[in-house]
């Protein structure tokens, strides 16, 4: 435990030396807090259709609506307070990204490391399937699965996991293959231990650094995919205003001068994805021994 704490402190000490990733990490933390406490911060519940007033629809930023509060970012076509809708949309985006990323991480890490451990025809079959899947764009796979399953959170998570788990399998297989022939694994094989125990307790923990780097990238990718699918109409239902849905709702008003309906949710989405990617890039640099010299 002391070795783990020492490495964690060393990692954090190195991370703090870089101002841009630190600012990005602060932005990610701030967005998470805003999303978690959205019901307390937002002046309106965008899920409550009874609270929406159509007369407040498409109002410019600063408009005082029927509810008596100021719509600081304006309203969308349904009369939703855009600031409230963005907070709840960030909540959905983070929920989808983190949950889909965690499930894809777990599946990919186990499948990839197991294939490297077992080897032979099983390894060849698994990796040929993964190579075939990686030959298709992730957005295409997610779109097809989401279109087949229909709208909903569970269906969307399945689509995101299906389109992303292959990246974790490929990374886990490469890292586990390097660990498979090391002395500590050979020593574990000489003792009557199960293959599951060797994979989960010996190989997989030592293959974690590259998986962590891929996880940060894939969380940002999952958030982007969710927004894209919602924008295309195959993601979440219209009653749940994700960022992609908010951008889609305002797209038709761009040329009429009501830019805020699409632009502000788009800016929030870009800031979130850029911040996560900047943090992920720094984590990659610190965990990559070739770059960290």
Q: Are 174 and 232 in contact (CB under 8 A)?
A: no
50-81: per-residue pLDDT in tens? 888 888 888 999 998 888 888 999 999 888 89
205-224: per-residue pLDDT in tens? 888 888 998 999 999 999 99
* CATH architecture of the region 31-43+62-286: Orthogonal Bundle (1.10)
Q: Indicate the pLDDT class of residue 237, thresholds 50, 70 and 90.
A: confident
Pick the residue with more confidence: 209 or 41?
Answer: 41
Q: What is the pLDDT of residue 148?
A: 93
Average pLDDT over residues 134-159: 92
Residue-range domain boundaries for the chain: 31-43+62-286
Q: What is the pLDDT of residue 290?
A: 55
What the block records as the tokens of 40 is 């307390």
pLDDT value at 86 more than 90: yes
């Amino acid at each position: 435990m002391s070795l783990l704490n020492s490495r964690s402190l060393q990692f954090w000490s190195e991370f703090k030396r870089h101002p841009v990733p630190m600012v990005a990490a602060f932005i990610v933390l701030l967005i998470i807090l805003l999303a978690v406490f959205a019901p307390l911060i937002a002046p309106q519940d965008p899920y409550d259709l009874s609270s929406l007033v159509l007369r407040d629809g498409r109002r410019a930023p600063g408009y005082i609506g029927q509810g008596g509060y100021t719509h600081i970012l304006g309203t969308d076509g349904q009369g939703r307070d855009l600031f409230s809708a963005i907070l709840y949309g960030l909540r959905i985006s983070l929920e989808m990204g983190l949950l889909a990323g965690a499930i894809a991480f777990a599946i990919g890490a186990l499948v990839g490391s197991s294939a490297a451990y077992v080897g032979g025809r099983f390894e060849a079959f698994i990796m040929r399937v993964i190579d075939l899947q990686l030959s298709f764009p992730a957005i295409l796979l997610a779109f097809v699965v989401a279109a087949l399953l229909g709208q909903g959170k569970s269906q969307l998570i399945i689509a995101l996991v299906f389109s992303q788990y292959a990246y974790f399998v490929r990374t886990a297989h490469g890292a586990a293959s390097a660990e498979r022939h090391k002395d500590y694994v050979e020593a574990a094989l000489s003792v009557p231990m199960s293959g599951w125990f060797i994979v989960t307790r010996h190989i997989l923990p030592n293959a974690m650094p590259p998986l962590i780097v891929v996880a940060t990238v894939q969380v940002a990718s999952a958030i982007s995919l969710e927004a894209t699918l919602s924008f295309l109409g195959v993601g979440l239902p219209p009653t749940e205003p994700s960022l992609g849905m908010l951008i889609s709702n305002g797209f038709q008003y761009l040329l009429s001068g009501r830019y805020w309906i699409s632009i502000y949710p788009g800016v929030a989405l870009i800031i979130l994805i850029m911040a996560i990617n900047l943090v992920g890039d720094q984590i990659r640099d610190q965990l990559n021994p070739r770059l960290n010299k």
